[in-house]
Amino acid sequence: MKLWPALFLCMVCSSVFAQQKEVTGIVFDKDSNARVAKVNVLNITSGKGVYNNFKGEFAIGANPGDVLVFSKPDHHSDTLTVKNYSSMAVYMRPTAIQLQLVTIRDSVLNPQRRLANTQKEFSKIYGSAYNADLLNVGSGGVGFSIDALYSAFSKSGRNAEKLRGLIDAEYKQTVIDYRFNKAFVQGITHLEEPKLTDFMHKYRPGYYLVTTASDYEFISYIKANLKRYLRRPRAYELPPLPQVVWEPETK
């Protein structure tokens, strides 16, 4: 007689599980609408859980009225109540904001690109005659005017080697300026103007150091010279120009 209650309970449970059907659906990212995989789907009513597949699809046993919890480490959890056996579309909001891809282009050309542009520009104007100043002031600083260089040295092609030497020298100075710039030096020395400009002028590195030193070696070079500068801030200063008194010639 004691077996009847247990047998009756088993029959009830079997009837309940036999009536339970599968609820299917797809999990999407709420921001991008892309399918989200590896989402844990838990039926808190029955206590059973599953993971969806790599296509974002899931199937779990549930009845109308059951509560499903969708969770994933990089998304906010979502809770839905099963209304019927229609396929569900679940949208989960990501915990991190996905920024739009932005392409950054430098407004100041690096030395290699500037040299390439210089060589290209020189090839375009070869054979023309211009009458310009030797120095040209632009947004990138002071540089040689290619037109003036051509006019000064290359009209007849006799001094092309001198012209290449001037372009090469300017390129090396641009390489130094590109690495030994004010923002970088100030971040290490914490100097303010006019001391910053004074320090950079007095302890300007050479081309070989700039192109061969590692970041650690280059920063050490700046720090070592900063100590020297703070000890003797007036070192390496040029003597003041002598005062010249001009007296008009009297007849």
Which helix (H) or strand (E) covers residue 165, if one does? helix 160-179
Structural domain spans, the chain: 22-92, 105-176, 180-234
Average confidence (pLDDT) over 145-173? 66
Examine the pLDDT at 74 and tell me if it is beyond 50: yes
Give the pLDDT confidence score for residue 19 in this predicted structure.
Answer: 59
Read off the pTM: 0.41
Which helix (H) or strand (E) covers residue 173, if one does? helix 160-179
Give the pLDDT confidence score for residue 119 in this predicted structure.
Answer: 67
Give the pLDDT confidence score for residue 159 in this predicted structure.
Answer: 60
Pull the structure tokens for residue 6.
Answer: 């247990």
In the three-class reduction of DSSP (H, G, I as helix; E, B as strand; rest coil), residue 118 is classed as helix
Pull the structure tokens for residue 245.
Answer: 């008194």
Alpha-carbon torsion (161, 163, 165, 171), positive or negative: negative
Pull the structure tokens for residue 36.
Answer: 């989200």
Give the pLDDT confidence score for residue 229 in this predicted structure.
Answer: 92
Identify which has the larger pLDDT, 209 or 3.
Answer: 209
User: Could you tell me the CATH superfamily of domain 22-92?
Assistant: Carboxypeptidase-like, regulatory domain (2.60.40.1120)
Average confidence (pLDDT) over 191-210? 91
Examine the pLDDT at 37 and tell me if it is beyond 70: yes
CB of 42 closer than 8 Å to CB of 52: no
